[in-house]
Amino acid sequence: MILQVKELSKSYGKKLAVNKISFSVEEGQIFALLGPNGAGKTTTLKCILGLRKEDSGKIYLGGTYAYLPEKKELYKYLTVEKMIEITQNISKMFRKEKAVELINDFKISLKEKIANLSHGMLTQVYISLVFAEDVDIYFLDEPTWGLDPLMRSKVIELVRKMSLEGKTIVYTSHILPEVEKVADVVAIMNHGKILELDFLDNLKEKYVACVVGKNEN
């Protein structure tokens, strides 16, 4: 087991964002946190990564990691190439050749300025930088948010490829068909709770029941 979360809770003032959730992730797995906006997915990742201090619970993270944040911003006035160079200077695990290869695969020019990239291309550049880190586990917060279907399927393909290379991936999404395609294990999250944890059996029915059921309350 590379990641274990036990009874994790986190509030913002009176708002209980994450409410005693537990799950574990095995090495090499693609683990998805599936849930609508506000479910608590980002807060969960941030607590695991130490970007937020949990109120209670235990977290075990047994490997090196890289993180794709929900808000994907890079230095606007730099070229993609310069961004790669800077990342290499600040991260020992970063593989420049891998970043160049991935960005070429996405058919994005290294000479392009970040400011000139569309939202989808910016996400793809950011994902390339993250996957160029030679770490054990990747945390991806909504990696396909706002991407068109073609870009989305390319990102999903890359997630699968990284998993085949033995890497562990924890990612969040609100898109059920995508999660069905890519994940090995899914935790359905809503209102700060994990409502189902499963290996994709009857995922659609469970997701609808969890989300619709809760909204009716």
Nearest-angstrom CA–CA distance, 115 and 207: 37
Which residue number, 102 or 211, has a Cβ lying nearer to ligand ATP?
A: 211
Collapsed DSSP state (helix, strand, coil) of residue 96: helix
**∠58-62-66 over CA atoms, to 5°?**
105
Could you give the residue ranges of the DSSP H alpha helices within the chain? Answer: 41-48, 80-90, 96-105, 119-131, 149-164, 176-182, 203-216
Residue with tokens 């075990």: 60
Position 214: which residue type? K
Which residue number, 28 or 57, has a Cβ lying nearer to ligand ATP?
A: 57
Position among 17, 80, 129, 158 found at the interface with ligand ATP (CB under 6 A) = 17
Binding mask 46-85 for ligand ATP (x = CB under 6 A): ------------------------x---------------
Q: How many CB atoms lie within 10 A of CB 146?
A: 13
Taking Cα atoms as reference points, which of 62, 83, 195, 78 lies closest to residue 132?
83
User: Does residue 5 interact with ligand ATP by CB under 6 A?
Assistant: no
**Stretch of 21-29, 34-42, 57-65, 103-111 lying at the interface with ligand ATP (CB under 6 A):** 34-42
Position among 25, 29, 32, 40 found at the interface with ligand ATP (CB under 6 A) = 40
User: Does residue 37 interact with ligand ATP by CB under 6 A?
Assistant: yes
CB of residue 85 to ligand ATP, shortest distance in Å: 31
**Stretch of 39-47, 150-158, 162-170, 201-209 lying at the interface with ligand ATP (CB under 6 A):** 39-47
Which residue number, 37 or 217, has a Cβ lying nearer to ligand ATP?
A: 37
**Stretch of 35-43, 111-119, 121-129, 158-166 lying at the interface with ligand ATP (CB under 6 A):** 35-43
Position among 30, 31, 34, 42 found at the interface with ligand ATP (CB under 6 A) = 42
> Residue numbers of the site for ligand ATP (CB under 6 A)?
12, 15, 17, 35, 37-43, 70
